Structure 1
């Protein structure tokens, strides 16, 4: 009689636990909603500031700007970006790194052109620096110090710039801030004194330590006094040049220079704090507030519009063209050049977003009187004008939607962007003789055609899910267009008849219909995204999936893919079925083991798909034990690389038991033969008949080791798994006393062992005998390399200024034998005189790698209990 199982009791979860479960999904929505509220507040502020301003007067102010002033603004912009390159030069000196000057100039220009336009400088510009400086040979911690130095240097420069402006123009600024001039001067002096104190610290000591309680300390390495003074000078030049780029576009003798400098510093700081992309709206609102001192609001707004094009869009266009020029060069073989080419999709995505915004704003604003006369003279059919206006706006929405696909290098997104840009460029003429718009879109088409090779992911465009940030940003764009529509036509009284008014002078109805079309399509897309079935629901790996993976593994040169045959990991296949990756999930960590296998042309797409799958479920994607040659795949996606240790492999064509260096190994083989040991490699078809003996050896080994079966990156005794691969056995007196299954493929490039077990009573040196015989067997079969596995924490840098992660790894390797036999494992493998290859963890930055490693340990150990037990 069977005993019934006790009922499963589900303990109620606390509100904190439920919040912890839902927070990863809610966080993007909450942050995006906060940005939307901020944008709404900015729009409300602009509405009050522009109450008396008319759209026509703003366009007139833009047209009236002298060419000499525009040329001066261009020169000031060039000077500003040239000074920005010196930020990186100082940061590299602070990080103790040497990089060719050409690499510094390219990296800095591309990083600032991207971050100035889309905002989030440490993330967008930081990703560019991580890619290009890593290609130049810098370690990730060094690059992190470069990024941190740039952010701190900019903040200090802004503090000095703003303090000087307040000190100089406090009398003009105080009324606008509803404060007293003397209080602002005291604040400015306090900021300058704080800076003087910082410089004094730089001259006195190299490290700044702050106690955090309980024996913890926060340590900051200070720059030298010369470097700090040099950087302050660079910041002064850069900020002065960027301010001058706007100053030259303003009418003369309307605003005092001190007042302008103070408000410019405040506007830049406010736009950075708001985290609105590019500070759009926030920067303009502060500067319009400053215009109350004498500059007409229409002139200020016109200057701000021109400044957006000159200081932000033009450098982005030049940076994109510069990177694409690398692709056109013959012999782009240098690592930095290759990485530069791979960055062009980021810039193309940013340019496509700019084009989409331009088309949407153009659709809700009237064309000029000159354009009206040209259209009337040429007798352009009214239906063509109406259709081009409507379709141009729809194309703008489409460009915004495909920009994300360009960021992820989808070929479908490339085709969509190319088609939409070409159509919009052709429609720009009949919809209002928009020559500048047509020129920009034509340039975008040209850059897309030239950069075609970079968009090689064959994924479907409609298979992508937009994150909450993108959806709410799209909603913010539509609302902003509504505000622009009412601003441009504030003198037109609304009436139901406007919807049905079709005439050349009916510009408000035309814009109203275009905006309604965009809003309805955006709403339909928004609802479709929300109501779609979530992708990537986890399910058990099926035998059919394992068989598909096995077919790919057999043709693959790497034996690491054989771990997919265990069946304890999920499998993700490419759309063609020629590639796959295996992964496990623990807590919020989605961890791919070794990365993709199969057709290397599909690897980038698989990596992106896996990251998107993890993000869609509120998780963090990571790649465990990846090889150095594959690191660009993960750096492209914004992940960071941390060294895990070194993998040992023996060059089989050169392997021999002869010579003094192999004396110990040769002695072990001879001893085993004297003990009556014999060696045999069983083909998969013969493994089944010996499974009872293999199970007996395995169970005895586990009992002796007081251990339990592992998983994920370690094999386990599984009958189905063992019968798919050859098994090497050691016989004694007709009985199996040791065995190891061989991970090998039909390519015969690389082989390794996974499950290695022996009877406790086996003669000493049995495993040496087994390993030596395996390598000789594989050598005779024509294999090129034999993998001995990874030695964790081995090969960490021993320099005093080595990255902190490697310093920690070196300490664990040296003193951590109590927890893991680091040195013993390395010594065992080293006696085979292998070649060592670094292995890495690719994971998000911050504290994420530590959480990932803890979750990997749980995956290997079969849960958190397995982490603390054998």
Structure 2
């Protein structure tokens, strides 16, 4: 818990420190001066900043191109441009770009075959390239113009110049040496290697263009007296590096403090602050708005109509990437609502510039102005609160957000005839409307877990708002009379009352969260006998693996409607579900959301192990990363005749040798279980010596007595057996627990499977599953070798084969259809840690598990 919270707390501390330093620097500046400077900025400077922004974002897209080359992958230019632009447009605004930008890239690039490890490698490459580029460019600029940072360093200009030059030359020499010789550097357990010289040279050009474009976008906005461009590059690079390391979203406050503090005294602080605000708008918010517009237009495309038909004409190769954008909608809408909430709170603190719009002493004008300011502040707090519900796809939160934005627009009109503010808020409401289909969850606005990050973000907003209030109104001496002063010109009292109302509303909401009772489940699911209820759902489903829910080592979470469930086990800080949800597919998304939220309330992380490809979009919509763990061998029985014919000679030879097959239906006698136990004990003695859990049923008469059991006899004695899980009225079948006498060898299972395939084909079944071949279908890259190491630990549960290749080859002989299986997990959970946890679940270490005490019958 402390390890997860530390980066968040550190970011909060750095934000507070940056905010304090920024206010200290802005102490002599009047708010009106900043606003005046923004309004009088020349159009040429604005166009120059826009040109620098375009250059910067074009260069940023090439980071993705070189990263893909680095990992040996290639995508079309359009896909790279889309993924790169959206990754940076959203990542730069949200902050911690390697994480948020990586999540956007994963959604887009995974549609073209890249897995989570490869996208993580791309994000890591980009982070290292950008970080090292900023450092090296900053060092070079400091070596040329050391005076830019002398105020922050206790050294003379020559010392700074030579130290910066030495570090720069040494770093470049090391990077070049590693690139030319294809050498690797071990650092904190990681192996780092450089791109080949050609790619490295290209990456250097990209870094220079990126930093030049971004720094020019800010430099051109600065007033007269600014340093020359080369010197300013050193200032910008230093400020960006500090802002990135702070983990504050967008480096807000930290970046501005460093820039203002390192500019020469010839640049007025107020003019610098105005330039920084414009830079934030042009370089961060406008690209974010364009990205959000792309997502909104894509939602309109999905909805159909004229706009849908028009956008459907986009190039076919781009269509898969656009289809992944749907999953970004909840998070982006939440961010937009949160941003509008901050905006509304801030504008209530700004002294009015339209005091003459209403007559002095006009009671109606005063009431409208007072009511509008209070309404704006309250709307801002409401948007902060319901942004959490938007992130969790709550439909009521969506419609309340739209209504609140429209109310804020009305308040802007009545309080100050602020037409521009009203248009901005109205545009926000209109931009949300095409997204309404993404908010399909019903329930309370505040359902779900409010994490520490959310509380700190809201606290940061309130602290910043309070700081801005004192900054904007610092020339007004405090008096108790301010609270009861009402007139159109009373800006400070009005802002003071609005701030009090907003703070009171937020405090009441936090108290509500702290004191609300724990939610209770509805009575739709059969809580008195959950296993009986689960059995009914499984029998009606097409998922025979659902029977593993009744093995006794899992808990069950039902959908509110009682017609679907998730089976899972709890291990330490993770709730690990097995397979896809079982039952009505219409309930799966809401059920997975509820499972994730319950895990979060328990301070745990949800993991879904061995999920299929049938619901890939659902996992990405939940914000989960997918990592392939193997492939399931499924035999479509309507075309299994060729397999039976090809393998018939071996089957006939076994029959001539005296082997027979039988399928025993329950209930089974004690004598049968006595024979089966002898086979099982002999099999365990030659393997691990103990039963395994989670992925396979146990040898327990009370469990096996609910299934058909396939047996092979030799001389009237059972030498191998397997229980069969069936669902969908017998149309879908899968093997579960397999045991055989060691002297018979694994080949006896081929005889058993052939007989089962033939039996179920004659019975009219649709499919027969031979189970999962672990790590099947993965590449031979280093990533696959890492998976292999952990996979051996997981699948060492007494399988018929000692290696994965042999297991897959055995199943391939039956000519199955291979269906991929994945582990789906939040981006902050390591796949390797999740695999280790699954291994512990399989081993059945009871001292770390929360398990059911009895093994029930299906």
Q: Is the TM value for this pair above 0.5? A: yes
Change (3 A) 1:634 1:814: closer
Give 1:617 shift.
Answer: 2.7
User: Hey, what does 2:476 align to over in structure 1?
Assistant: 492
Q: Deviations over 1:120-171 (max 9, x none)?
A: 0110001111121111222333322221221111122212331243233323
Change (3 A) 1:211 1:492: closer
Q: Deviations over 1:367-413 (max 9, x none)?
A: 213x6426879996432322221122122122222223323333233
Alignment of 1:385-400 (within 5 A): 385-400=369-384
Q: Deviations over 1:32-80 (max 9, x none)?
A: 3333322222222123212211112221222222233223222222222
Give 1:514 shift.
Answer: 1.3
Query: Secondary structure of the equivalent of 1:602?
Result: helix
Distance in 1, Cα, partners of 2:279 & 2:509: 33
Alignment partner for residue 341 of structure 1, among 307, 326, 338? 326
Distance in 2, Cα, partners of 1:124 & 1:394: 29
Alignment partner for residue 440 of structure 1, among 401, 411, 424? 424
Alignment partner for residue 588 of structure 1, among 550, 559, 573? 573
Change (3 A) 1:180 1:534: farther
Give 1:786 shift.
Answer: 0.2
**Counterpart contact for 1:317–1:351, Cα < 8 Å:** no
Residues 574-583 or 812-821, more deviating: 812-821
Residues 401-410 or 757-766, more deviating: 757-766
Alignment of 1:635-650 (within 5 A): 635-650=620-635
**Counterpart contact for 1:457–1:604, Cα < 8 Å:** no
User: Hey, what does 1:571 align to over in structure 2?
Assistant: 556
Alignment of 1:15-26 (within 5 A): 24=1, 26=2
Change (3 A) 1:456 1:207: farther
Asked if 1:250 corresponds to 2:197, the answer is no
Change (3 A) 1:351 1:481: same
Alignment of 1:115-126 (within 5 A): 115-126=91-102
Change (3 A) 1:172 1:792: closer
Give 1:286 shift.
Answer: 1.4
Q: Deviations over 1:615-646 (max 9, x none)?
A: 33333322111223434433444443333222
Query: Secondary structure of the equivalent of 2:123?
Result: helix
**Counterpart contact for 1:796–1:810, Cα < 8 Å:** no
User: Hey, what does 1:422 align to over in structure 2?
Assistant: 406
Alignment of 1:424-823 (within 5 A): 424-532=408-516, 544-656=529-641, 661-667=646-652, 670-671=655-656, 674=658, 677=660, 679-682=662-665, 687-688=666-667, 690-704=668-682, 705-706=684-685, 707-718=689-700, 721-728=703-710, 739-746=721-728, 748-757=730-739, 767-798=749-780, 803-805=784-786, 808=789, 820=802, 822-823=804-805
Give 1:321 shift.
Answer: 0.7
Q: Deviations over 1:632-675 (max 9, x none)?
A: 43344444333322221212112238865213453266348x55
**Counterpart contact for 1:702–1:708, Cα < 8 Å:** no
Alpha-carbon RMSD across the aligned residues, in angstroms, is 3.4
Q: Deviations over 1:519-538 (max 9, x none)?
A: 1222222233334456799x
Change (3 A) 1:366 1:775: same
Q: Deviations over 1:193-249 (max 9, x none)?
A: 03431442255212314387xxxx753231122211211211111211111222222
Give 1:359 shift.
Answer: 0.9
Give 1:485 shift.
Answer: 0.7
Give 1:488 shift.
Answer: 0.8
**Counterpart contact for 2:53–2:213, Cα < 8 Å:** yes
**Counterpart contact for 1:541–1:568, Cα < 8 Å:** no
Asked if 1:236 corresponds to 2:217, the answer is no
- Specify every segment of 5 or more residues in structure 2 that has no aligned partner in the other structure, as ranges: 302-307, 850-858
**Counterpart contact for 1:649–1:835, Cα < 8 Å:** yes
Give 1:176 shift.
Answer: 5.3
**Counterpart contact for 1:131–1:636, Cα < 8 Å:** no
Give 1:762 shift.
Answer: 9.2
Give 1:808 shift.
Answer: 4.7
Alignment partner for residue 322 of structure 1, among 278, 281, 294? 294
**Counterpart contact for 1:646–1:839, Cα < 8 Å:** yes
Asked if 1:413 corresponds to 2:403, the answer is no
Distance in 2, Cα, partners of 1:502 & 1:123: 48
**Counterpart contact for 2:576–2:608, Cα < 8 Å:** yes
**Counterpart contact for 2:296–2:432, Cα < 8 Å:** no
**Counterpart contact for 1:465–1:529, Cα < 8 Å:** no
- State how many pairs are aligned: 828
Distance in 1, Cα, partners of 2:831 & 2:520: 23
Change (3 A) 1:385 1:664: farther
User: Hey, what does 2:253 align to over in structure 1?
Assistant: 281
Distance in 2, Cα, partners of 1:361 & 1:293: 29
- Specify every segment of 5 or more residues in structure 1 that has no aligned partner in the other structure, as ranges: 1-23
Distance in 1, Cα, partners of 2:324 & 2:573: 30
Distance in 1, Cα, partners of 2:490 & 2:168: 57
Asked if 1:110 corresponds to 2:92, the answer is no
Change (3 A) 1:803 1:494: same
Q: Deviations over 1:773-801 (max 9, x none)?
A: 33233223322110011122334324x67
Distance in 1, Cα, partners of 2:531 & 2:349: 55
Q: TM-score, normalised by structure 1?
A: 0.87
Alignment partner for residue 368 of structure 1, among 353, 373, 385? 353
Distance in 2, Cα, partners of 1:541 & 1:822: 41
Distance in 2, Cα, partners of 1:439 & 1:668: 83
Distance in 2, Cα, partners of 1:230 & 1:803: 29
User: Hey, what does 2:854 align to over in structure 1?
Assistant: none
**Counterpart contact for 1:141–1:803, Cα < 8 Å:** no
Distance in 2, Cα, partners of 1:307 & 1:625: 47
Q: TM-score, normalised by structure 2?
A: 0.88
Give 1:575 shift.
Answer: 3.1
Query: Secondary structure of the equivalent of 2:18?
Result: helix
